Chains A and B, each alone.
Chain A
Amino acid sequence: MKQPLASTQPYVPLRLRRTQKPYEAEIGIEHLSFGTLHLTSFYTVLYSISNHNPTCWSSTEKFLITNNFLCEISNMENNGDVQMTAEDDVQEEEEVTAQSVLLAIEEAWLNEKFAPEILPHRSDLVDCMLQQITHMEENMKRLDKEDLRLMIHRMELDRIKYVITNYLRARLEKIEKYTIHILSQEATRSSEECYLTVAELQFAKEFLANIEMLFKTIALQHMPGNFQTFEVDTLTVKPNLQAYVFLRANDRINGIIVPGSMDEEIDLEPGSQHIIQYSAVADLVKSGAVKLI
């Protein structure tokens, strides 16, 4: 077994955070250079929630999230201003603790890590947690340098940031790998049930455009006329949905048909662990009835 990381070493994300501002998670700047051609693709995911007034925070870890508060954040992402109607304000108040959001994010992280395909985004959780982090960092500024709490809070924040950035990065890796497939799937979904966030969708489109430009500039334009088209279909990479995954059941689930068998059915007990093809449990992963481990 590897030497464990000493806990004094914070779990700081590696090629991340070029900015000083804590609430901006920058996901990477890549320079592709091929001979005379230089393509620079910037893809940043900025969660500009700094202007938002954290009304939901109370002094302990309990706080309220209203659904429209989350809408508000996504609206800010969409068009930079807040659209909120008065009726929405009272509807559907959901009380959650920071702890439960953190647990949900950790589960989303592991699911995303192990699932072969991209899962529906959980930007509600990410935004909420980033807000918590920002608030906590504000609080920490008021603490004395010698204070014991400062070190403890900082360590915890580093741990949480690691989970969030690793989650976002796992998604970006999948988007880069399956760009064309994801974009074509995404085109068939309505705006409520789409899997990508607005920023991720934009990234995917730009990534595809950059690849196309790269292909054209380097090779395609020098080809004979009938070979010059950029054939999207032949370049599509699809995730292997028949990949085997490890999972743990959260709820009791009856009668999952094992793919590849004649009509073998299995039942999952809560808490039991299994290995099975992803395609058999894909819907259960998305609904949260099972989690990947």
Chain B
Amino acid sequence: MSKKVAFLQGNEAAAHGALYAGCKFFAGYPITPSTEVAEVMSAELPKVGGKFIQMEDEIGAMAALLGGALAGKKALTSTSGPGLSLKQELIGYGCIAEIPCVVFNVMRGGPSTGMPTGPSQSDVMCARWGTHGDHAAIALMPASVQECYDMVVRAFNLAETYRMPVFVMPDEIVAHMRERIEFREPGELEVIDRAAPSVPPSEYKPYDTTFGDVPPLAAFGSGYKFHVTGLNKLPDGFPTTKAEYVQAEEERQLRKVYAKVDDIVEFEEFQLDDAEICVVAYGSTSRSARYAVNEARAQGIKAGMFRIKTFWPFPDKQIKALADKVKGFIVPEMNLGMCSIEVERCAQGKAQILGINRVDGEPVNPEQILEKMKEVK
């Protein structure tokens, strides 16, 4: 039997990826350029007995999302820059209370209302540092319509595995362009469901680390009764200000992600074996970068691309290793230098770093990247 194929937008593909992953709950608020995700979910979720709700505002959507997730559903929301800002307090709630969910954030121009229909990549730091307090972050960067589908499936797996909100962050170009995609067959992609508690309700504690750094989360309404709070808490979920608990819990919530960084971080190395110039790119910008690298190779320039697929945690180890090998990094992005900061941090002065930064609503084009290669010394 041939595979089901379709010609879809990134946003539409993301919704179908969520359904493949077993998403049964969507809470959102209309915002350009992500609204198609909500539209598809509103049509498709009730067909599989799932629930869609359009909330009264962005933070309300994040709250309902966390409520639905706590009631045991795989839960998705979609938003864009201003909405991501408004959701931040409760993204932090999802982090500290350890509630799995997926936030699909389409990057448009900013700050504030910015350029609602223009592409951007300027939310990457907002995903990492937008909510207050120390916390880990996982953010995936699709560069194609197929990746919107596949990465949403993976985001659900990561959310359920690490018990936290996970971001998928296409730029507006990836979210709105149309490409041929394949709907995945059942079993073709891994789908991870939430680990159920192995103890009876009478013995259950929602943050019992005897079960490891990611304790199983029971669902409200499943026979388990427990307490959830945004305060620093004890293993039983109740608030504490005891220094030893607070310190240990905060450290565990970082460790649960950063100890598994090799499992989480995905990337693509393109023409990097003998490269002297490494273009570090993500999202639609990586498509221009690939074109530029091919052109450079045709001209005899030893260029390659490191494509970031997992932006957070940042691929520190890989960039550090590349810094020992290459003369220079070129970091094209649709912001005024966000990925560049991370590359600089990892390169530790061992290689030249040249940014190409556009915030005029136009993509970085291959010619700009080729031109920039001449500056690598």
A, B assembled together = no
* B→A interface (CB under 8 Å): none
